[in-house]
Structure 1
Amino acid sequence: MALSTRTSDVTCRWVWEAPDPRSGDGHDLDFTGVAFDGGDFTGAVFSGGMVRFSGAVFSGSTVHFVGAAFSSGTVSFTGAAFSGSTVHFVGAAFSSGTVSFTGAVFSDSRVSFVNAVFSGGTLDFSAADGAMPSGLAVSGTQPHATGLILPQAWLRPTP
């Protein structure tokens, strides 16, 4: 299915409507370069396959990944821009596979990983720029979870 370069809540819901409206299990989905003006991936299951949000723009809207499960496979937000948006990964579970925010830019946005569970896999923010999303607490110079890779600028210096 080809998506336009701009999508809305309706389009996001439609994409997830078969066979299980919240499962990308084993499927490849490509949202590369899409400008999101809203969306709801609440409870989505990203397991196996490749899902790309590379170069996507999250601007002036709210997008929910609340309670989403990321296990096996790869989800890429590489080079995505979060500008003036609210994006919730609240309560999301990262248990295996790779989720990459490499080179993503966080500018004047509220991106939250509060209450997210990190129990395996890799969550990679290397080379990300801007303010660190909430919920990615660090202790000294180390991220709070194994497999969480943060840019040096986000790590707090040890006093």
Structure 2
Amino acid sequence: MSSEQARPGFELPLRLLFVFRVIIDELHERLAREGHPDMRPMHGFVFQAVGPDGITAVELGRRLGVSKQAAGKTVEQLERLGYVERGGDPADARRKVVRLTAHGVDGLARSARIFDELRGEWAERLGGEERLRGLEDALRTLAPGNPFQLDTPRWLGST
């Protein structure tokens, strides 16, 4: 098919999903080399939902759009991997708050740095920062609003 021919409508969402998959797979390959071989794409959503102050499992489930049980299972897994810990809430002794450990914070910081590196590499591959900014601007036009949809794993059916 030449670039002049019409492209099927289904190709656009598949290309967008594929681009997402390519960048996420590369991120996780690099994270594995840097000491985080157990981090998975879903974990980034959880880490963002937990945030710097911590969160209860009930609120985590609400933010991720999953049941309390599914959130609890995810917390247990991340706790075993050393990314989160549960502790008391100083404001309410009955509540258990999930917080990122130093290992979790490190994984999040490395992810941010690697995403910046990948963005730079993609700008170079596309012919410069201006072309990448144009692509980002076009995507913002097509999908305005807050890109931090923490319930994306639920929407994709992965939790």
**Larger strand fraction of residues:** 1
Greater relative CO (CA pairs within 8 A, separation 6+): 2
**Interval containing the TM-score (normalised by the shorter chain):** under 0.3
Which entry has the higher C-alpha Rg, 1 or 2?
Answer: 2
| TM-score (normalizing by structure 1) | 0.21
| TM-score (normalizing by structure 2) | 0.21
